[in-house]
Amino acid sequence: MTDTESLHDAILQWYDESARDLPWRVPADEWPWPEVDRPWAVLVSEVMLQQTPVARVEPVWRTWMQLWPTPAALAAASPGDAVREWGRLGYPRRALRLHAAATAITQEHEGVIPADMQQLQALPGIGSYTAAAVGAFAFGIRTTVVDVNVRRVEARLVTGAQHAAPSLTAAETRLAETLLPADDADATRWNVAVMELGALVCKATTPDCNACPVVAQCSWVLAGRPAHDGPRKKAQKWHGTDRQVRGKLLAVLREATAPVPRTELDIVWHDPGQRDRCLVSLIEDGLVEALPRERFRLPT
DNA sequence: TAGACGTGGTG
DNA sequence: TCACCAAGTCT
């Protein structure tokens, strides 16, 4: 057995024993919700999981699947409903893009999620990662699924670096392709297994190397777990940013059941210039609709 | 291609 | 307390 094959065996076996039971991972032959379109369920989960922890996604995902079990169901709702049911997941433009994707799937693909990476990536809010994830997890397409977990695991395991590069590099993509098992069924499971290992064990700040099935082969551990020395991702600012103000404005509109007068939005932030700029940007983004007489609501 | 884009948990 | 982090995408 080659080194790569022993990695495959160890990580796939660890996944079988240690993976979380997540509803969007239930295989097609055991899918328990006949009215819910499984590729759609996978697609929605992947978009919700962008930059967002599993624990916060799961309840919202369940609500969405009840409300909108198919792309056509979501397309029949208003974009504002999607934004409201998005709740506090963050990055609410994802809700809008999901609604736009549902509309495109309904109108241009007869309501069927395309089992094709190019067509998937052409949908709003679906980039290279999500297209690959939906291709692999919904349709079993043989492809590499490279998220930040995979990049970090493979960086430590093979390259010996503590962290992945600040953004996806060609070298990381090549490495992921090199490590993909030859067997198609193994390849699909490998993608989710490496991701899960990164999420549960090979974590960014506090890796549990004791629990790692491949610690004996880990270049980073063998090198003495050296601290990172290259460029690191820049920390995001939050306090006082437009993102914070947009979040406060949208929170008011999400909770409202009737159009909201500007005076109710004025109280969420002290700086009128920034407040107005953010409201305008929300309207430009399609997240807010302006009505006559200085009233506002989520888009219909 | 950096930077914008939400939110809340954690050490 | 506060910086970092969580299955990225878009411009």
Whole-angstrom Cα distance, residue A24 to residue A33?
11
The pLDDT, as a whole number, for residue A230 is: 66
Secondary-structure class of domain A1-14+142-234 per CATH: mainly alpha
Instruction: Evaluate if the CB of A91 falls below 7 Å from strand B.
Output: yes
How many Å apart are A205 CA and B9 C1'?
14
A248: Cβ contacts below 8 Å, ≥ 6 apart:
A268, A269
How many Å apart are A56 CA and B8 C1'?
9
> What is the percentage of chain A residues whose pLDDT exceeds 90?
94
Query: Tell me: the pLDDT tens digits for A240-299?
Result: 999 999 999 999 999 999 999 999 999 999 999 999 999 999 999 999 999 999 999 999
Cβ(A55)–Cβ(A22) under 8 Å? Answer: no
Q: Got the DSSP string for A198-213?
A: HHHTS-SSS--GGG-T
The domains of chain A are located at 1-14+142-234, 33-139, 242-297
Residue from A17, A30, A46, A58 carrying the catalytic annotation:
A46
Considering only CA atoms, which of A292, A298, A291 is closest in space to residue A253? A298
The pLDDT, as a whole number, for residue A229 is: 73
For residue A52, which nucleotide's C1' is closest to its Cα? C6
Secondary-structure class of domain A242-297 per CATH: mainly alpha
Torsion of CA A134, A137, A143, A147, to 10 degrees: 70
Instruction: Evaluate if the CB of A236 falls below 7 Å from strand C.
Output: yes
How many Å apart are A272 CA and C1 C1'?
28
> From residue A73, how far is each of A121, A126, A130, A254 by CA, in Å?
21, 19, 21, 21
Query: Tell me: the pLDDT tens digits for A2-61?
Result: 889 899 999 999 999 999 999 999 999 999 999 999 999 999 999 999 999 999 999 999
Instruction: Evaluate if the CB of A257 falls below 7 Å from strand B.
Output: no
How many Å apart are A248 CA and C3 C1'?
22
Cβ(A103)–Cβ(A76) under 8 Å? Answer: no
Query: Tell me: the pLDDT tens digits for A50-92?
Result: 999 999 999 999 999 999 999 999 999 999 999 999 999 999 9
The pLDDT, as a whole number, for residue A269 is: 96
Q: Does domain A33-139 have CATH number 1.10.340.30?
A: yes
Instruction: Determine whether A58 is an active site residue.
Output: no
The pLDDT, as a whole number, for residue A232 is: 66
Cβ(A162)–Cβ(A224) under 8 Å? Answer: no
* In chain A, residues 39 through 58 whose Cβ sits under 7 angstroms from any atom of nucleic acid strand C: 45-46, 49-54
The pLDDT, as a whole number, for residue A228 is: 81
Instruction: Evaluate if the CB of A181 falls below 7 Å from strand C.
Output: no
> From residue A299, how far is each of A92, A96, A291 by CA, in Å?
13, 10, 10
Considering only CA atoms, which of A288, A293, A292, A296 is closest in space to residue A96? A288
The pLDDT, as a whole number, for residue A231 is: 61
**How many beta carbons lie within 10 A of that of residue A38, not counting itself?**
18
For residue A254, which nucleotide's C1' is closest to its Cα? B6
Query: Tell me: the pLDDT tens digits for A150-197?
Result: 999 999 999 999 999 988 999 999 999 999 999 999 999 999 999 999
Q: Where are the alpha helices (DSSP H) in chain A?
A: 3-18, 38-48, 54-67, 71-76, 79-86, 93-108, 117-121, 128-139, 148-154, 170-179, 184-200, 219-222, 242-255, 262-266, 272-285
A68: Cβ contacts below 8 Å, ≥ 6 apart:
A74, A77, A102
The pLDDT, as a whole number, for residue A220 is: 96
Instruction: Evaluate if the CB of A113 falls below 7 Å from strand C.
Output: no
Listed as ranges, the nucleotides of chain B within 7 A of a protein C-beta are 2-8, 11
For residue A53, which nucleotide's C1' is closest to its Cα? C6
Q: Which residue has the closest alpha carbon to C7 C1'?
A: A49
The pLDDT, as a whole number, for residue A3 is: 85
